[in-house]
Chains A and B, each alone.
Chain A
Amino acid sequence: MSSPIQLQPDETFVLNVGPQHPATHGVLRVKMEMNGEYIVNAETVIGYIHRMHEKMGENKTYPQYLMNLSRMDYLGAMGYSHGHVLVVEKASGIEVPERAEYIRAIMVELNRISSHLFWFGAFVMDLGGFSPLMYALQDREHILDMLEAVTGSRLTYCYFRFGGLYNDVDDEFVDAARRFIPRMRKSLIKYEKLVTGNIIFRKRLEGNALLSKETCRKYGATSAVARGSGINYDVRKNEPYSVYPEFDFDVPVYHEGDSLARYMVRMDEIEQSLRIIEQGLDKLPDGPIMPAKKPKLIKPPAGDYYQAVETARGNFGVRLVSDGTKIPYRLKLRSPTFSNMHLFDETCRGMMIMDALAFMGSLDLVIPEIDR
């Protein structure tokens, strides 16, 4: 295992990892002060893909801003839209039909699986194994096909509307989703055999980048990063929203706090999401997908509203301050990866570069979501 070594200050050099580097999965730049292969100090530099999503929120009407949310995170777009529509519905008191709520939950969970699958592939590729990425993409392709058939696009869905949905799902989708569940379970066994059990993989991740509960709390880390360190926190359970209280599912928690624990949490979450989808398809009620009185103009009364959701990357919170007009006064987006990423600077000190990049992979960073 990598252990901190005694370092002389004049023996270091600076290595710029990124903004264009295969391991940073986007335009993240890490300024690493290195002593040989050991990292003395690291500083993450963000902002290369800042698109002013929050400022745009202050300049657009509520429906116009809808599609921005799915562009925050290109892998788990559904979850982010969910947070936005929920907070606006809460603010303006729009009732959502039950069918729409169920479909939303199914869609978010499908998207969570697709996001985790991509993360799984990219993570193993960071560690040097290329084939698992291709297998993961094959499974992800089934999800994307299903979602495309319903929402009309493959990544930036823009599927949720205030009060309901853009499109209803058909029987074809329900059948496809039902077929997908056993197929995915079979694939999970394959991943277990190919990757999880592999001695090289385990040796690299066991004990890599131990995060304590305190560190996670200090930085506000959520999702698998916190759950891998023994913090049992999942917004779906702790602050239930939408129809999640209706579902029976577990929150996987591991206490080791190393990269393997974070990996295991995400792989278990895929299984839990499958369970939610299964139940959602069974319980899916008939009915409309938009409220009878379709809200024409969204004008929430003046006030301060907040809603958190559990996206694929963690606790995503939207704070909406409305002054009673059709344009928000302030829209604050709390992005989970922003908090998760800042763990990196502190934790990677004294690690070797290959361990540090494995750790970075285990954080599941999506850079556009950090920069917003």
Chain B
Amino acid sequence: MSLTLLNVIIAVVIAIAFAALNAAYLVWAERRGAARIQRRPGPNINGPFGLLQPPLDGIKLMAKQLIIPGGVDKILFIAAPVLAMFPAIMSFVTIPFSDTIVAKNMDVGILMIFAFASMGGMSLLFAGWSSRNKYAMMSSIRAVSQAVAYEIPMLITTITVVMIAGSMNLMEIVHQQSSSILHWNIFPLLGNSHNLLMPFSFLIFFVCTLAETNRAPFDLGEAESELVAGFHTEYGSMGFGLFFMGEYANIVIGSCMTTILFLGGWGCPFGLFPGVWWFLLKLYILIATIIWIRWTFPRTTIYGLLNLSWKILIPLSLFNLLFTAGLIKVF
């Protein structure tokens, strides 16, 4: 008993470290990547390739005074950044990186991750509401309507995958896809569903991930040219730092989910190296794509975003759900 408890604690610590490290170094990767796209070198002064930039930024943020503006709702104001980071870290507990590397395998892993993902929207609402700033307020209302609109197609798509796998256990879902590369859920023919529309499901899920994590082109909450800095306008110091890291941790979670649900998790197409490396490879390719998208596209409008969700993504994902259900019944 005590041994398993120790195992869990170590795993949780590793998960937190992984999340924090990823959040910190994804900022670096994003800045370097954006710079390359714009034909600049990016941060390259501190350490080799600027690799010391994230820790130094962290030190700088921590050394700053935490300013709480007058008239804010203090409890919510302080709770919001914590709420932004906490669910992302907690979600790592149940994500399987390979057959063996998983902190706690749960039968309802997907449910837990989505429950925590919904809490992310809560943190934006808290931050915007408590900041006593009109820009922050507008941003948080946008963020909530966005979160509501995009959780629906995301959940419907997830249910499609759950129906195919017949389980909400993330391990189980990966095992279902592990026979070969063609059994991945993204590919239409050999998978358990024989559903031709699965690539579109993948696309819908990916777009929803972008929207759920408030990433460009759906970064309406932040919208720096309209709402100054959106919900974190009034945050400085590590409060801002936590929001920032939370954003990247959420990206990692979103990409992990995409990898597990559609890209076969740690399933290796060629078996060159152990599964966990394949998992990380897929994960970082997805993250790189997200960064790449951010630095290519302009931002959508709030109604464009809601139109996309309610008029395109939800009907398509619902149709796909029905279609998959029918196919499962037939085969």
Which A residues fall within an 8 A CB radius of B? 1-2, 13, 15, 21-23, 34, 36-37, 124-131, 134-135, 138, 194-195, 198, 200-201, 203-204, 352-355, 357
Query: Of all chain A residues, which has the CB nearest B295?
Result: A131
Q: Are B225 and A203 in contact (CB under 8 A)?
A: no
What is the total number of residues of chain B having a CB less than 8 Å from a CB of chain A?
A: 28
**Which B residues between 187 and 218 are near A, CB-CB below 8 angstroms?**
216-217
**Which B residues between 120 and 142 are near A, CB-CB below 8 angstroms?**
134-135, 138, 141-142
Q: Are B297 and A129 in contact (CB under 8 A)?
A: yes
Give, as a whole number of angstroms, the nearest-CB distance from A18 to chain B: 11
Give, as a whole number of angstroms, the nearest-CB distance from B189 to chain A: 30
State whether A15 and B304 are in contact (beta carbons under 8 Å apart), knowing that A23-B226, A138-B39 are contacts in the complex: no
A194-B296, A204-B298, A204-B304 known; 6 new pairs, CB 8 Å cut-off, are A23-B226, A127-B225, A131-B296, A134-B40, A354-B223, A354-B226
Query: Of all chain B residues, which has the CB nearest A3?
Result: B303
Residue from B37, B223, B298 with most neighbouring chain A CB atoms (10 Å): B298
State whether A203 and B304 are in contact (beta carbons under 8 Å apart), knowing that A21-B228, A128-B217 are contacts in the complex: yes
Q: Are A134 and B134 in contact (CB under 8 A)?
A: no
Q: Are B38 and A352 in contact (CB under 8 A)?
A: no
State whether A22 and B296 are in contact (beta carbons under 8 Å apart), knowing that A135-B38, A352-B301 are contacts in the complex: no
Q: Is B151 part of the binding interface, using a Cβ–Cβ cutoff of 8 Å?
A: no
Residue from B38, B39, B40 with most neighbouring chain A CB atoms (10 Å): B38
Per DSSP, chain A at the interface is: helix
State whether A128 and B216 are in contact (beta carbons under 8 Å apart), knowing that A2-B303, A352-B301 are contacts in the complex: yes
A-B contact pairs, 28 of them (CB 8 A): A1-B303, A2-B303, A15-B135, A22-B224, A23-B225, A34-B134, A128-B216, A128-B219, A128-B223, A128-B225, A128-B298, A129-B298, A130-B295, A131-B37, A131-B38, A131-B296, A134-B40, A135-B38, A195-B298, A198-B298, A200-B217, A200-B297, A200-B300, A204-B300, A204-B301, A352-B302, A354-B226, A354-B302
Q: Is B299 part of the binding interface, using a Cβ–Cβ cutoff of 8 Å?
A: yes
Closest 6 CB pairs of A and B: A128-B299, A129-B298, A134-B38, A127-B298, A128-B298, A126-B225
- Find chain B residues with CB under 8 A from A201 CB: 298
Give, as a whole number of angstroms, the nearest-CB distance from B124 to chain A: 16
The answer for the CA separation of A355 and B302 in the assembled complex, in Å, is 10
The one of A15, A23, A129, A131 in contact with B299, judged by C-beta atoms closer than 8 angstroms, is A129
The answer for the CA separation of A43 and B219 in the assembled complex, in Å, is 28
Give, as a whole number of angstroms, the nearest-CB distance from A362 to chain B: 13
Per DSSP, chain B at the interface is: loop
- Find chain B residues with CB under 8 A from A204 CB: 298, 300-301, 304
Q: Is B112 part of the binding interface, using a Cβ–Cβ cutoff of 8 Å?
A: no
The answer for the CA separation of A352 and B306 in the assembled complex, in Å, is 14
The answer for the CA separation of A202 and B127 in the assembled complex, in Å, is 32
- Find chain A residues with CB under 8 A from B142 CB: 37
B288-320: CB near A (< 8 Å → 1, else 0) gives: 000000011111111110000000000000000
Q: Is B34 part of the binding interface, using a Cβ–Cβ cutoff of 8 Å?
A: yes
State whether A352 and B298 are in contact (beta carbons under 8 Å apart), knowing that A22-B225, A127-B225, A131-B37 are contacts in the complex: no
Give, as a whole number of angstroms, the nearest-CB distance from A360 to chain B: 10
Give, as a whole number of angstroms, the nearest-CB distance from A4 to chain B: 14
The one of B38, B138, B217, B301 in contact with A355, judged by C-beta atoms closer than 8 angstroms, is B301
Give, as a whole number of angstroms, the nearest-CB distance from B305 to chain A: 10
Q: Are B138 and A37 in contact (CB under 8 A)?
A: yes
Give, as a whole number of angstroms, the nearest-CB distance from A94 to chain B: 46
- Find chain B residues with CB under 8 A from A34 CB: 134
- Find chain A residues with CB under 8 A from B302 CB: 37, 352, 354
Q: Are B298 and A200 in contact (CB under 8 A)?
A: yes
The answer for the CA separation of A37 and B226 in the assembled complex, in Å, is 11
The answer for the CA separation of A127 and B304 in the assembled complex, in Å, is 13
- Find chain B residues with CB under 8 A from A194 CB: 296
- Find chain B residues with CB under 8 A from A134 CB: 38-40
The answer for the CA separation of A115 and B298 in the assembled complex, in Å, is 21
The one of B40, B134, B297 in contact with A15, judged by C-beta atoms closer than 8 angstroms, is B134
Give, as a whole number of angstroms, the nearest-CB distance from B212 to chain A: 18
The answer for the CA separation of A15 and B136 in the assembled complex, in Å, is 12
Give, as a whole number of angstroms, the nearest-CB distance from B225 to chain A: 5
Give, as a whole number of angstroms, the nearest-CB distance from B82 to chain A: 28
Give, as a whole number of angstroms, the nearest-CB distance from B46 to chain A: 22
**Which B residues between 7 and 44 are near A, CB-CB below 8 angstroms?**
34, 37-40
Query: Of all chain B residues, which has the CB nearest A203?
Result: B304
The answer for the CA separation of A75 and B45 in the assembled complex, in Å, is 32
B266-293: CB near A (< 8 Å → 1, else 0) gives: 0000000000000000000000000000
The answer for the CA separation of A198 and B217 in the assembled complex, in Å, is 12
- Find chain A residues with CB under 8 A from B217 CB: 128, 200
- Find chain A residues with CB under 8 A from B297 CB: 128-129, 198, 200
Give, as a whole number of angstroms, the nearest-CB distance from A200 to chain B: 5
The answer for the CA separation of A128 and B219 in the assembled complex, in Å, is 9
- Find chain B residues with CB under 8 A from A135 CB: 38
Q: Are B226 and A353 in contact (CB under 8 A)?
A: yes
Q: Are A357 and B301 in contact (CB under 8 A)?
A: no
Q: Are B134 and A129 in contact (CB under 8 A)?
A: no
Give, as a whole number of angstroms, the nearest-CB distance from A258 to chain B: 14
- Find chain A residues with CB under 8 A from B134 CB: 13, 15, 34
Q: Are B38 and A203 in contact (CB under 8 A)?
A: no
- Find chain A residues with CB under 8 A from B223 CB: 128, 354
Give, as a whole number of angstroms, the nearest-CB distance from A35 to chain B: 11
State whether A127 and B39 are in contact (beta carbons under 8 Å apart), knowing that A15-B134, A204-B304, A357-B225 are contacts in the complex: no
Give, as a whole number of angstroms, the nearest-CB distance from B246 to chain A: 21
- Find chain A residues with CB under 8 A from B39 CB: 134, 138
**Which B residues between 34 and 62 are near A, CB-CB below 8 angstroms?**
34, 37-40
- Find chain A residues with CB under 8 A from B304 CB: 200, 203-204
B214-238: CB near A (< 8 Å → 1, else 0) gives: 0011010001111010000000000
